[in-house]
Amino acid sequence: MIELPTTSGDGYQSNGYPGSAYEPVFADNELVFDEKESAQIETWKSQYPTVDGAIMRVLWLAQEKFGFLPPEVIRLAAKATGIPYAKAYGVATFYTQYFKKKKGRHVLDVCTCFSCQLCGGFDILHYLEEKLGITSGETTSDGEFTIQQVECLGACDGAPMLQVTNGRYVMQLTPEKIDALLDALREGRDVAFESMTLPQDQDEMGGNRRSDVTNVLESRPAPVSKTIK
Ligand code: FES
């Protein structure tokens, strides 16, 4: 996570960036939203009682465009939204889903919160760390994978689980499943969304609450962790 810049006066140094030692990653001429993106931002701003409400979407757009959110990109998002930098910075640094540092092509958020921890969340985290040769918070030297240890992702019924780059959930993890997942991601293959079958829905949709999913997991007794912290 980036440090809160030390600022004075209007909050910016003479080079226009927060903090005296900070070297921007992106040049000024790269820091623009094109016409289509600007129009989209204006639409979002009009959908909230005050423009502040649009900042999360603008930051998300900026992350998709630039890959992550260094201070100059947060500043661009703040300017496009029409709010102070400090406000945008507060939002960007509150949520782990906004990347303040450059990450790997795939970011694996491994849940080690209570339910996942009891069902082997740390076993999965350590397996991944060993396999990729990095520890939580680090990125592989080929830039392919970043591992992050995260709090509950709301899929405790599929514990232990992880999320791939703010998107797909992979649940009921085992070492074999991790191996298959890493291979699929390296080869650019899609990772199927997995929906949990709930016993009480067995008569309806084969137990699946979602009608648009073919990849359905059967409920099973939860595994027991070897490692609990
Ligand atoms: S504890 Fe892991 S998803 Fe809830």
Residue pLDDT, tens place only, 98-120 = 999 999 999 999 999 999 999 99
Residue 5 has pLDDT above 50, yes or no: no
- Ligand 1 in reach of 181 Cβ (< 6 A): no
pLDDT value of position 229: 72
Q: Which architecture, in CATH terms, is 28-94?
A: Orthogonal Bundle (1.10)
- Ligand 1 in reach of 162 Cβ (< 6 A): no
Residue ranges in the chain assigned as alpha helix (H): 35-46, 55-66, 71-81, 85-94, 114-118, 121-132, 175-186
Does residue 189 or residue 129 have the better pLDDT? 129
Q: Are 15 and 23 in contact (CB under 8 A)?
A: no
CA-113 nearest atom, ligand 1: 1
Per-residue pLDDT of 172-215, as tens digits, reads 999 999 999 999 999 998 777 676 666 666 666 665 665 555 66
Chain region(s) in the chain for CATH 1.10.10.1590: 28-94
Please tell me the chain's helix, strand, coil percentages from 3-state DSSP, rounded to the nearest 5: 40, 10, 50
pTM of the predicted model, to two decimals? 0.77
Closest CA to 63 of 33, 87, 36: 33
- Third-level CATH fold of 106-217: Glutaredoxin (3.40.30)
- CA-to-CA dists, residue 95 to 44, 134, 150, angstroms: 20, 23, 11
Does residue 84 or residue 23 have the better pLDDT? 84
Quickly state the pLDDT bin for 57 (edges 50, 70, 90). very high
Q: How far is 139 from 137, CA to CA, in rounded Å? A: 7
- Ligand 1 in reach of 151 Cβ (< 6 A): no
The whole-number average pLDDT for the span 144-165 is 93
- Ligand 1 in reach of 125 Cβ (< 6 A): no
Q: Are 124 and 228 in contact (CB under 8 A)?
A: no
Cα-atom radius of gyration of the chain, to the nearest Å?
A: 21
pLDDT value of position 14: 43
Q: How far, in Å, is the centroid of ligand 1 from the Cα of 109?
A: 11
The whole-number average pLDDT for the span 43-70 is 97
CA-159 nearest atom, ligand 1: 2
pLDDT value of position 1: 35
pLDDT value of position 190: 77
Does residue 229 or residue 113 have the better pLDDT? 113
Query: What is the chain's mean pLDDT, rounded?
Result: 86
List 196's β-bridge partners, or say none: 217
What percent of the chain has pLDDT above 90?
67
Chain region(s) in the chain for CATH 3.40.30.10: 106-217
- Ligand 1 in reach of 113 Cβ (< 6 A): yes
The whole-number average pLDDT for the span 122-131 is 97
pLDDT value of position 207: 58
Residue 10 has pLDDT above 60, yes or no: no
pLDDT value of position 214: 63
